[in-house]
Copies of this chain bind each other. A is one copy, B any other.
Amino acid sequence: MALVNENFLKLENNYLFADIAKKVNVFKVTHPNVDVISLGIGDVTRPLCPAVIEAMHRATDEMASESGFRGYGPEQGYDFLREAILKNDFLTRGIHLDMDEIFINDGAKSDTGNIQELLRWDNSIGVTDPIYPVYIDSNVMAGRTGTQQDGRWSGVVYMPCTAENGFVPTPPERHVDVIYLCYPNNPTGAVISKQELRKWVNYALKHDTLIFYDAAYHAFIQDDDIPHSIYEIRGARKCAIEFHSFSKTAGFTGVRCGYTIIPKELTATTLDGERVPLNPLWNRRQCTKFNGTSYISQRAAEAIYTPEGKKQTKETIDYYMRNAQQMLTTLRGLGFDVHGGENAPYIWMKTPDNYGSWQFFEQLLYGAHVVCTPGVGFGPSGEGYVRFTAFGSHESTLEALHRIEKWTKSH
């Protein structure tokens, strides 16, 4: 008799964005002539840049000839891409990595979800709150939590991100085995300074804590002194795994490519106290349960690091950041309390009049025909907030802002 993993049954059936899609669908069916603008889900809209498109055509042509054809690639990714990453994303910031500390993946979601397989089921988990739901859900599936009540999982340490702490909490008093951090942050758009990040690294070194650092939005950082990588902090190689994605950097949400860094000196512990390096364990995991990222996607990612690729990628990021700037200006002008959006593509807005997140979501949908993401969907401290993304076109962003303005003033 095959027994089911009952941890799955603790999860609600629906993923946040599926819930939103359902509610938007109901609206569309009952209002067939109304055009809805989504500033909700964090998907990009600009086309891939020319350098990437050219690289994909070239790679496709290679696959058409006997001499150019590539079958199974290395599970860890091709050296051409690992080298480009190492040189451009790390060496330029004074971080020295070996090639085999870089693992190419099919996007950060897979790896941030799967990485916890390397750890025992009974490690304690800490998350900043609100947070990307994958971090918690993947641990629920593995049995590392209790059950959920009022949006909180027992067995998970929540570290609230609030207006008071600038949405960057300080490390907890108590000991936690594994902590997820994401900066620039999804959903709040907050960034962390080197000084604040150093506190986390020092905490981790002191408590023997493992940090999972999600840097998927680092390309949106505008200020020079904000760290792009946790390895800019001394000691982080001993305590942190870092996740990167090309999804937002270069519009790869449909192309699927990213990478994970596991420094060789990073270890976890056996029950007997033996230190075990996680780099070879992840390598074993990937060789067993992953067969490498599409060759075309890897060539596409490589092209981001060419001079043209860098220039074109920056143009797209600037495009989105102009949206963010416009959103901040307009929403502030309307008297809303908004955060983020300066080094991140997300705007985190306090709902007016103490509306609940879902309540405001519905008001905005039915009143202004604009979709946002209810903050509480990201965790209990997100209640009373909504998230807007800057990933729309200029035109639709402006139109959405115009609708919000009209709706607010008539309200």
- Chain B residue with minimal CB distance to A143? B121
Which chain A residues (137-182) contact chain B, with CB distance < 8 Å?
137-138, 141, 175, 177-178
Which stretch in A86-94, A273-281, A371-379 binds the other chain? Answer: A273-281
Residues of A within 8 A of B (CB): 1-6, 8-9, 11, 13, 15, 18, 41, 43-48, 50, 53, 56-57, 60-61, 63-66, 68-73, 106-107, 109-110, 113-114, 117-123, 133-134, 137-138, 141, 175, 177-178, 207-210, 247, 251, 253-256, 268-271, 276, 278, 280-281, 284-285, 287-297, 393
**Is B296's CB under 8 angstroms from A255's CB?**
yes
Q: Which residues of B contact A110 (CB under 8 A)?
A: 289-291
**Is B64's CB under 8 angstroms from A50's CB?**
yes
**Is B9's CB under 8 angstroms from A294's CB?**
no
**Is A64's CB under 8 angstroms from B46's CB?**
no
Q: Which residues of B contact A296 (CB under 8 A)?
A: 56, 255, 294, 296-297
Q: Which residues of B contact A45 (CB under 8 A)?
A: 66, 69, 71
- Chain B residue with minimal CB distance to A61? B53
A-B CB proximity, top 7 nearest: A113-B289, A2-B210, A4-B268, A71-B253, A43-B71, A3-B120, A254-B295
Q: Which residues of B contact A1 (CB under 8 A)?
A: 175, 177, 207-209, 269
**Is A46's CB under 8 angstroms from B66's CB?**
yes
Q: Which residues of B contact A2 (CB under 8 A)?
A: 119, 123, 177-178, 208-210, 268-269
* Partner of A107 from B56, B133, B291 at Cβ < 8 Å: B291
Copies in the assembly, this chain: 2
Instruction: Given A8-B118, A210-B2, A270-B4, verify A292-B53 contact (CB < 8 Å).
Output: no
**Is A119's CB under 8 angstroms from B3's CB?**
yes
- 25 pairs, A vs B, C-beta closer than 8 Å: A1-B269, A2-B123, A2-B210, A3-B120, A4-B268, A5-B118, A5-B119, A5-B121, A6-B120, A6-B271, A8-B284, A13-B284, A47-B63, A47-B68, A50-B64, A57-B60, A69-B254, A71-B253, A110-B289, A110-B291, A113-B289, A254-B295, A255-B295, A256-B294, A296-B297
* Partner of A18 from B4, B68, B287 at Cβ < 8 Å: B287
Bound-state Cα–Cα, A276 to B270, Å: 34
Distance of A211 from chain B, by nearest CB (Å): 10
Q: Which residues of B contact A141 (CB under 8 A)?
A: 117, 285, 288-289
Distance of A251 from chain B, by nearest CB (Å): 7
Bound-state Cα–Cα, A15 to B288, Å: 8
Q: Which residues of B contact A271 (CB under 8 A)?
A: 3, 6
Bound-state Cα–Cα, A281 to B295, Å: 30
Bound-state Cα–Cα, A276 to B289, Å: 25
**Is B138's CB under 8 angstroms from A289's CB?**
yes
Instruction: Given A15-B288, A114-B289, A289-B113, verify A3-B123 contact (CB < 8 Å).
Output: yes
